[in-house]
Amino acid sequence: MLDKNISIVGVACGGYGSEKEISLKSGKTVYDSLINSGWKVFLIIINTDEWYIKTSASEKIKFNKDEFSFKYNKKNYQLSVIFNAVHGPPGENGELAILLKNKNIPHTSCDFISANKTYSKIDCLKEVKKFNIPTAKSIQLEKKNKWNEDQIIKKTGLPCFVKANRAGSSFGVYKVSSKSMLRISIESAFKYDNKVLIESELKGREVSVGVYRDNDGIKCLPVTEIISDNEFFDYEAKYLGKAKEITPALIPDEWSDSVKKISVYIYEKLNLRGVCRSEYIFINNTPHLLEINSVPGLTGQSIIPKQCEAAGIRLQDFFELLLQKAFDEK
């Protein structure tokens, strides 16, 4: 069991992709919460060219990622557990999980296989379709292959959504309403990834639900309804206040129960860990899965902290639970 008096927590944030700035904010939220609860915590900043420790005094300390250790004030530190707040690579795609597994260091997120599958929109859809979970009509493209706009539109219709396969926070996502915009959007999405997912538009009420595991089993946080001021729940809507998020969602109880049931089922079947967030759109009373986020945002504007508040769970207690479960399940 983790002990506040002796355990050393590393909060990993930053990353190699477009979500780096959001990840830094998530990491700071976790760091501040744990520090205020009396934990010995260090912030691990991950960049493409270096990893380092940022202290409370904003000192920059060299971090040995091969050993997951560092030296501070003439003392050597070995981390007891990692809180993964890295959105995108290397935290959300499973790379960090492999490094930590090789060092036998527990962490709060999914293992490599589960993380890698959910981070890929295409692979994630393939997995959930095995369980007959409704999703949008879709088609996948690879950068190396030729494609035809008319064939795509025949499959998905218009409007449709063009999505870079491996990107989060709605980076590389475009709503397309005309054939002339389709090629431009696909080429833009290919700048983020060499695979692209194109989905039909689902018009309905959008909801999101956080799922986690405690000592009694898999649990759901209260459901949030998302009402975007923009055409969809894009970066501005998520992080710049261009969306209305209602928690708990003002939806029928049977709707709430259905998305919770599906989310718990997915969490179990895909062997997810830590806190994950699933998003749905209701069509004719049926929830259609949009995506699964295995390292959801934890900033002040993020959905998970708001769901914790609605559930009467202190954020510090929630983060401590995730750390303890990670340590117990290593």
CATH of the domain at 184: 3.30.1490.20
Indicate which CATH number applies to the domain containing 126. 3.30.470.20
Tokens of 133: 């979970």
pTM of the entire structure? 0.93
Range of the domain at 308: 116-134+203-328
Closest CA to 286 of 152, 171, 132: 132
240 & 284 share domain: yes
Residues in contact with 68: Cβ distance below 8 Å, sequence separation at least 6, in sequence order: 10, 78, 79, 82, 99, 100, 103, 105
| DSSP string of 19-64, one letter each residue | THHHHHHHHHHHHHHHHHTT-EEEEEEE-SS-EEEE-TT--EEEEE
Count: domains in the chain: 3
Which CATH number characterizes residue 51's domain? 3.40.50.20
Please answer whether residues 93 and 119 qualify as being in contact, where contact means their C-beta atoms are separated by less than 8 angstroms.
Answer: yes
Q: If we measure between CA atoms, which residue out of 104, 83, 85, 93 comes closest to residue 26?
A: 85
Task: Decide: helix, strand or coil at residue 201.
Answer: coil
Segment 62-89, tens digit of pLDDT: 999 888 999 999 999 999 999 999 999 9
Backbone angles phi, psi at 320, to 5 degrees: -65, -40
**Domain-located, residue 1:** no
pLDDT in tens, 255-306: 999 999 999 999 999 999 999 999 999 999 999 999 999 999 999 889 999 9
152 and 129 both lie in a single domain: no
Q: How far apart are CA 307 and CA 106, in angstroms?
A: 25
Same domain, 54 and 167: no
Residues 126 and 254 occupy one common structural domain: yes
163 & 234 share domain: no
Rounded to whole angstroms, the Cα distance separating 90 from 14 reads: 9
| Pair (171, 219) in one structural domain | no
pLDDT of residue 235: 47
Query: Residue 248 corresponds to which tokens in the numbers above?
Result: 């708990």
Position 2 in a domain: no
With pLDDT > 70 as the criterion, what percentage of the chain qualifies?
95
